[in-house]
């Protein structure tokens, strides 16, 4: 399954936050900070991808342990095409199985599937997707938001799967990854009027075009994901839960960007001041700005986001034992 737009969508927010910061520095007579320097400041402290590192370590340890539980053997490709252990080993490791959750009270199975994978191929593809998506999300929203936007959708998707698909054994991180993607959509919806404002993007028409392009890719992702969810042997309730929880968590945790600095929500006195500013001698220097000092107005827009990368998830079904239990990978 391809997910492309989510890799760059938080870069839209970074563009606007940089412009907001440039406007604030200009109005408070502070030194100008270039886009590249501003981007570097977003990668310090808790904005480092600590949670992603933890997930990578946890998923790697869980995969190795699952091979150990399976007797350090790999199932035949006819049984497990993802080069991994048996379904029994995955159940021992904590895969989602509704009967064990409800009747045996093993509630940890609502959390453990997010770090389990059905095999090497499934592991590498999901970790690649997580790596690029977390780079965008954490850079703009920080450690706490990344944890919430991954864990809650992953658990919510598992709950929906346990209710509506109790016969399936489910493992995989796609519920959390879907949550991160839909949180990006929520971010765009919350700040639509600012991100696609002709007023804010007046100095560089290309920025608005790039923002629209990212939005179109996100819409394309949603359509592709929806079509894949209609195919057999895909735990679409886990995906649906990840989408819904991710969107709602995005609405509740992501910061709404202020429009005041860009003159879109100006008060009466601000408008009066702008009339005088427009005729002040200062405006004569704006056309001669040399781009080495503070920018005139909003500064100059730039976008050096992560390159477009296709990311694929794997959905595999394993038929194991005489009971015909099926494992759905996410």
Is the per-residue pLDDT at 237 higher than 80? yes
Residue 25: the pLDDT is 73
Range in 49-63, 83-97, 246-260 the model is least confident about: 246-260
Other C-beta atoms lying within 10 Å of the C-beta of residue 66: 24
How many residues belong to the chain? 330
Residue 157: the pLDDT is 94
**Dihedral class, residue 132 (left if φ above 0, else alpha if ψ from -120 to 50, else beta):** alpha
Q: Provide the CATH number for the domain formed by 5-329 in this structure.
A: 1.20.1540.10
Which is nearest to 319 in space by CA: 239, 233, 230, 238?
233
| Mode of pairing for the β-strands spanning 317-320 and 325-329 | antiparallel
Is the per-residue pLDDT at 23 higher than 70? no
Report, as residue numbers or ranges, the catalytic residues: 174, 239
Residue 152: the pLDDT is 94
Helices marked H in 33-104 = 35-41, 50-69, 87-93, 98-102
Is the per-residue pLDDT at 113 higher than 70? yes
Helices marked H in the chain = 9-27, 35-41, 50-69, 87-93, 98-102, 120-164, 174-190, 192-195, 205-229, 236-253, 268-278
DSSP-derived 3-state class of residue 168: strand
* Residue-wise pLDDT tens digits, 199-220: 655 555 566 677 677 777 777 7
The residue assigned the tokens 């997580």 is 130
Higher pLDDT, 45 or 155: 155
Higher pLDDT, 233 or 137: 137
Domain ranges within the chain, ordered by starting residue: 5-329
Other C-beta atoms lying within 10 Å of the C-beta of residue 138: 25
Residue 76: the pLDDT is 93
d(CA 316, CA 117): 11
* Residue-wise pLDDT tens digits, 141-177: 667 888 888 999 999 999 999 999 898 899 988 889 8
């Amino acid at each position: 399954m391809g997910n492309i737009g989510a890799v760059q969508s938080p870069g839209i927010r970074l563009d606007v936050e940089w412009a907001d910061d440039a406007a604030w520095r200009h109005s408070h007579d502070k030194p100008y900070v270039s886009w590249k320097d501003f981007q570097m400041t977003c990668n310090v402290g808790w904005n480092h991808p600590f949670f992603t590192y933890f997930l990578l370590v946890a998923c790697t340890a869980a995969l190795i342990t699952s091979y150990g539980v399976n007797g350090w053997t790999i199932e035949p490709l006819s049984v497990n095409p993802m080069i991994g252990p048996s379904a029994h080993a995955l159940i021992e490791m904590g895969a989602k199985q509704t009967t064990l959750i409800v009747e045996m009270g093993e509630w940890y199975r609502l959390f453990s599937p997010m770090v389990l994978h059905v095999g090497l191929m499934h592991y590498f593809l999901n970790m690649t997707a997580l790596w690029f998506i977390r780079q965008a999300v954490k850079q703009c929203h920080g450690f706490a938001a990344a944890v919430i936007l991954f864990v809650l959708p992953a658990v919510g998707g598992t709950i929906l799967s346990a209710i509506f698909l109790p016969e399936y054994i489910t493992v995989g991180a796609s519920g959390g990854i879907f949550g991160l993607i839909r949180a990006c959509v929520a971010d765009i919806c919350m700040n639509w009027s600012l991100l696609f404002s002709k007023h804010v993007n007046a100095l560089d028409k290309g920025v608005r075009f790039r923002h629209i392009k990212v939005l179109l890719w996100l819409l394309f992702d949603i359509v592709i994901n929806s079509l894949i969810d209609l195919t057999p042997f895909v735990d679409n309730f886990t995906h649906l839960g990840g989408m819904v929880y991710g969107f709602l968590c995005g609405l509740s945790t992501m910061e709404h960007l202020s429009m005041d600095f860009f003159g879109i929500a100006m008060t009466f006195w601000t408008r009066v001041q702008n009339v005088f500013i427009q005729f002040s001698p200062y405006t004569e220097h704006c056309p001669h700005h040399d781009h080495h000092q503070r920018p005139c107005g909003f500064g100059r827009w730039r976008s050096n986001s992560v390159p477009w990368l296709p990311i694929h998830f794997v959905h595999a079904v394993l038929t194991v034992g005489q009971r015909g239990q099926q494992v759905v990978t996410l």
